[in-house]
Chains A and B, each alone.
Chain A
Amino acid sequence: QKEVEQNSGPLSVPEGAIASLNCTYSDRGSQSFFWYRQYSGKSPELIMSIYSNGDKEDGRFTAQLNKASQYVSLLIRDSQPSDSATYLCAVKYGANSKLTFGKGITLSVRP
């Protein structure tokens, strides 16, 4: 059973702080990794994708991938109240395959 684990949460940080969200996955054959943001009652919205070991930065967001440790993380710098949402980690095992999601981490940014 291929699994994606997001064990920590809910997470609460003050406005302006760095939020760190973590995710582990079970299948070493995983090729693609995604972070989706989901506001309450809405559908998931892609915020980051990463395919190679290391860091990938996009604005206030940085995704980090470590395939040896089967670990992917998302850092949100200068957190804003509008970042308050559930963050879903998703993994793909092939080019045209399904996404396997974690349960999600709920982030609350306190003004």
Chain B
Amino acid sequence: ETGVTQSPTHLIKTRGQQVTLRCSSQSGHNTVSWYQQALGQGPQFIFQYYREEENGRGNFPPRFSGLQFPNYSSELNVNALELDDSALYLCATNTEAKNIQYFGAGTRLSVL
């Protein structure tokens, strides 16, 4: 049990729609990172938030955006969904002192 909770577990959307994925973690986990994992691939870094500010971004277009809230929860928003956005989306959190990222169970997004 990592203490990182993601919702929803599964989601089906159609191309062009918008989606919001959510992540919550334990108190003190002030860094949250989001990853996209396509089938058969390793997770790819989308972006990271630290103390509610974006702290690094991977090679993803601006239609991928995020937020982190004072209660350590976080959102990943994806606009104008494309078929290739179908993937497992993973949230990982860590404290400032700990170098280790712990993952939530993920959200499986299917875009039809």
What is the interface of chain A, defined by CB distance below 8 A to chain B? 4, 6, 32, 34, 36, 42-46, 49, 88, 90, 92, 95-104
Within 8 A of A (CB), among B6-47: 31, 33, 35, 40-45
B99 engages A88 (CB within 8 Å): no
Bound complex: CA of A101 vs CA of B31, how far in Å? 18
B43 engages A44 (CB within 8 Å): yes
Question: With A32-B99, A43-B103 in contact, is A103–B31 under 8 Å at CB?
Answer: no
Q: How large is the interface on B (under 10, 10 to 19, 20 to 34, 35 or more residues)?
A: 20 to 34
Bound complex: CA of A103 vs CA of B58, how far in Å? 17
Between-chain CB contacts (< 8 Å), 11 pairs: A32-B99, A34-B100, A44-B43, A46-B100, A95-B99, A98-B48, A98-B56, A99-B33, A99-B101, A101-B44, A103-B40
B45 engages A98 (CB within 8 Å): yes
B99 engages A44 (CB within 8 Å): no
What is the interface of chain B, defined by CB distance below 8 A to chain A? 31, 33, 35, 40-45, 48, 50, 55-56, 58, 88, 90, 92, 96, 99-106
Bound complex: CA of A27 vs CA of B49, how far in Å? 23
Q: Which residues of A contact B40 (CB under 8 A)?
A: 103
Bound complex: CA of A48 vs CA of B31, how far in Å? 21
Cross-interface CB contact of B92 among A49, A99, A103, cutoff 8 Å: A99
A96 engages B50 (CB within 8 Å): yes
Q: Which residues of B contact A88 (CB under 8 A)?
A: 42-43
B56 engages A97 (CB within 8 Å): yes
Bound complex: CA of A11 vs CA of B23, how far in Å? 34
A101 engages B42 (CB within 8 Å): yes
User: In chain B, what residue has the closest Cβ to A99?
Assistant: B101
> In whole Å, how far is B64's beta carbon from the nearest beta carbon of chain A?
14
Knowing that A43-B90, A102-B42 touch, tell me 18 more A-B residue pairs with CB under 8 angstroms.
Answer: A32-B99, A42-B105, A42-B106, A43-B88, A43-B104, A44-B43, A44-B90, A49-B99, A49-B100, A88-B42, A88-B43, A90-B42, A95-B99, A96-B31, A96-B50, A96-B96, A98-B48, A103-B41
